[in-house]
Chains A and B, each alone.
Chain A
Amino acid sequence: MPPATDLGWWGVVIAVLGGAARVSTPYLFVSLGETLTEKSGRVNLGLEGTLVMGAMSAYAVAYLSGSPWLGVLVAGAAGAAFGLLHGGVSTLPRVNDIAVGIALFLLGTGLAFYLGKPFIEPVAPRLPHVALGAWSASPQIRAALEVNALFVVGAVLAPLLLWGLGHTRWGLVVRTAGDNADAAKALGYSVGAVRTLSTMAGGFLAGVGGSFLSLYYPGTWNEGLSSGQGLMAIALVIFARWNPIHCFWVSLLFGGATALGPALQSVGIASNYYLYGAAPYVLTLILLIASSSPRHALAGAPSELTISK
Chain B
Amino acid sequence: MTEAPPAVEVLGMTKRFGDLLALDGVSLALAPGSFHAVLGENGAGKSTLVKCIMGYHRPDAGRVLVGGREWAIGNPRQAHRLGFGMVYQHFTLVPSMTVAENLVLGAEDLPAVIRWDEERAKIDAFQRRMPFAIDPARPVATLAAGEKQKLEILKQLFLGRRILILDEPTSVLTPDEADQILKAMRELTEEHRLTVVLITHKFREALGFAREVTVLRAGRRVGGGLVKDLTRDDLARMMIGSASIPDPAARQATASRAIGLEVESLNVLNDKGTVAVRDASLRVHAGEIVGVAGVSGNGQRELVEVLARQREPASGAIRVGGAVYARTRAEMRRHRVFVLTDEPLRNACVRTMSVAENLAFRNFDDRRNTIGGWLVSRRALRAQARALIERYRIRTPGPQARLETLSGGNVQRTVLARELSEDVAVLIAQNPCAGLDFAATAEIRARIMGARNAGAAVLLISEDLDELLELADRIVVMFEGRLVHETSRETADAHTIGHYMASQP
Contact = CB atoms under 8 A, between A and B. Distances in A.
Contacts of A299: 272
A170 interface: yes
A302 B96 CA distance: 8
B272 A296 contact: yes
Contacts of A295: 269, 271, 273, 311-312
A187 B105 contact: yes
B80 A183 contact: no
Contacts of B106: 187
A140 interface: no
Nearest to B104: A172
Contacts of B272: 296, 299
A169 B109 CA distance: 10
Given A180-B93, A186-B92, A169 B76 contact: no
A303 interface: yes
B121 interface: no
Contacts, number: 63
B226 interface: no
Interface string B288-320: 000000000000000000000001100000000
A169 B114 contact: yes
Interface in B251-267: none
Interface in B74-115: 75-77, 80, 92-97, 101, 104-106, 110-114
Contacts of B71: none
Classify chain B's interface size: 20 to 34
A3 B76 CA distance: 71
Contacts of A170: 112
B396 to A, nearest CB: 24
Contact of B114 (A167, A176, A303): A167
B92 A182 contact: yes
B116 interface: yes
Given A168-B114, A176-B105, A296-B273, A188 B76 contact: yes
A179 B97 CA distance: 9
A145 B76 CA distance: 57
A218 interface: no
Nearest to B106: A187
Given A182-B92, A186-B76, A188-B76, A168 B112 contact: yes
Contacts of A176: 94, 97, 105
Contact of B101 (A172, A186, A296, A297): A172
Contacts of A195: none
A167 B113 contact: yes
A170 B112 CA distance: 7
Interface string A266-309: 00000000000000000000000000011111011011000000
Interface string B171-206: 000000000000000000000000000000000000
A188 B311 CA distance: 37
Given A176-B105, A187-B105, A296-B273, A169 B112 contact: yes
Interface in A109-154: none
A169 B110 contact: yes
A302 B97 CA distance: 11
Interface in A71-112: none
13 contacts: A169-B110, A169-B111, A172-B101, A172-B105, A179-B95, A179-B96, A180-B94, A183-B94, A188-B76, A293-B273, A294-B312, A299-B272, A303-B95
Given A168-B112, A169-B114, A183-B93, 6 more contacts: A167-B116, A169-B112, A175-B96, A183-B94, A303-B95, A303-B96
Interface of B: 75-77, 80, 92-97, 101, 104-106, 110-114, 116, 269, 271-273, 311-312
Of all A-B residue pairs in the complex, the 9 with the closest CB atoms, nearest first, are: A188-B77, A179-B94, A183-B92, A180-B94, A169-B110, A297-B271, A179-B96, A176-B94, A187-B106
